[in-house]
Structure 1
Amino acid sequence: MIHAVVFDLGDVLASPPSLLPELAKRIGTTRERLETHYWEGRVDYDAGVPDEQYWGPLLEAVGVESDPGLIADLAELDANCWSELRATARQLLREVRGAGVTVAVLSNSPRAMQVAADKAPWRSDVDHLFVSATIGLSKPDPALYRHVERKLGHEGREIAFVDDKQANVDAAVETGWQGHVWTSDADTRIWLVGLGVL
């Protein structure tokens, strides 16, 4: 029996169309130029390196002078954009929680996401929020899944996990969780119904 459902955040619950346009506008560059460099260094950023170690090289790459105020603004804007959930995704969170099942979000995200998500309207729909940079572990590290298990207080077989990356789902399944690769909210709902969650 499933007692907890753990959702990834980026692209599973949130797919903000405003992300790159808003960041490009704040930086003073084009979306196309920003997109070329946005994912460079992101793994380290999500693992907890300071904001300036991610945004500094990005700004240099697009030809914009870096300064602490701009970096702080970009870190906050980036996290705020990623913390905007789709309406159908938030409804799914509410339905799972309404069924008496623990709801958690497990995200590979920078420290700024912890602040943004804790202030987001949907935070009240989630029992636990796990941010990689805050914990010091990132998916698909098995140690992160075991950390989440301990915090949830459930065995792996009692946890269902939804992520858009196959490697992250595979690692969860190897840990003993039930895993599903996200393709749509509707597909995820069907999977949760099949597990008896909904």
Structure 2
Amino acid sequence: MIQAVVFDLGEVLASPPSLLPGHAARLGVEESALRAHYWDGRPDYDAGSSDADYWGPLLERLGVDATPELIDDTARYDASCWSELRATARQLLRDVRGAGTTVAILSNAPVAMKVAADTAPWREDVHHLFISGTLGVVKPDHDIYRHVERRLGLEGREIAFVDDRLPNVEAAAELGWQAHHWVSDADTRVWLVGLGVI
């Protein structure tokens, strides 16, 4: 029986359309240029490297003076964008929690995301928040899933997992989690109903 549902955050719950246009407008750069570099170095950032280590080189590649103040402001804006959930996604969290099942988020994201998420309106709908940047390990490394199991006090077969990246889904399944490859909120709802979660 499923005791907890663990959701990814980026794309699965949050898909902010304003992310890159907003960054570009704030920085005074072309959105296409930002898009070309945004994911450079992101794996290290999600694994716990500093805001300066990620945003500093990125801003310099865009021809922007990477002052400490701008780096801090940009990191906070980025995290705030990624913490804006779609209404249908938040309803999923509420329905799972309302059914008496533990709700958790496991996200590959920087430390700044933990700060933004902890103050987001939807935080009250989530029992446990796991952010890779604070753990020093990212999906699909098995260690991060094992960490979640220990914190939840559950075996893999008792956990349902939703992620939009197939390698992350496959890694969870290898550990016995009930894993679902996200394509839409409606599809995820059907899957959770099928599991008897909601």
Bin the TM-score by the shorter chain: over 0.9
What amino acid maps onto 2:152 in structure 1? L
Alpha-carbon separation, structure 1, partners of 2:25 and 2:68: 17
The alpha-carbon deviation at position 9 of structure 1 amounts to: 0.1
The alpha-carbon deviation at position 32 of structure 1 amounts to: 1.0
The alpha-carbon deviation at position 21 of structure 1 amounts to: 1.1
State how 1:119-198 maps to structure 2 within 5 Å: 119-198=119-198
What amino acid maps onto 1:156 in structure 2? G
Alpha-carbon separation, structure 1, partners of 2:120 and 2:29: 28
Secondary structure of the corresponding residue to residue 179 of structure 1: strand
The alpha-carbon deviation at position 22 of structure 1 amounts to: 1.1
**In the alignment, what sits opposite 1:115?**
115
Q: Does 1:38 align with 2:38?
A: yes
Alpha-carbon separation, structure 1, partners of 2:6 and 2:169: 11
Alpha-carbon separation, structure 1, partners of 2:13 and 2:113: 14
The alpha-carbon deviation at position 73 of structure 1 amounts to: 0.3
CA shift digits 1:124-181 (9 cap, x unpaired)? 0000000001011110010100000010111110000000000000000011100000
What amino acid maps onto 1:168 in structure 2? N
Alpha-carbon separation, structure 2, partners of 1:155 and 1:114: 25
Name segments (4+ residues, structure 1) moved above 4 Å: none
Alpha-carbon separation, structure 2, partners of 1:96 and 1:143: 26
Alpha-carbon separation, structure 1, partners of 2:37 and 2:45: 13
Alpha-carbon separation, structure 2, partners of 1:136 and 1:173: 22
Alpha-carbon separation, structure 1, partners of 2:63 and 2:136: 31
TM-score, normalised by the number of residues in structure 2: 0.99
Alpha-carbon separation, structure 2, partners of 1:71 and 1:26: 12
What amino acid maps onto 2:114 in structure 1? Q
Q: Does 1:92 align with 2:92?
A: yes
Which one is further off, 56-65 or 106-115? 56-65
Alpha-carbon separation, structure 1, partners of 2:68 and 2:48: 18
State how 1:14-29 maps to structure 2 within 5 Å: 14-29=14-29
The alpha-carbon deviation at position 104 of structure 1 amounts to: 0.2
Percent of matched pairs sharing the same residue: 70
Secondary structure of the corresponding residue to residue 161 of structure 2: strand
The alpha-carbon deviation at position 122 of structure 1 amounts to: 0.1
RMSD across aligned positions (CA): 0.5
Alpha-carbon separation, structure 2, partners of 1:104 and 1:66: 35
Secondary structure of the corresponding residue to residue 88 of structure 1: helix
Q: Which runs of 5+ in 1 are unaligned?
A: none
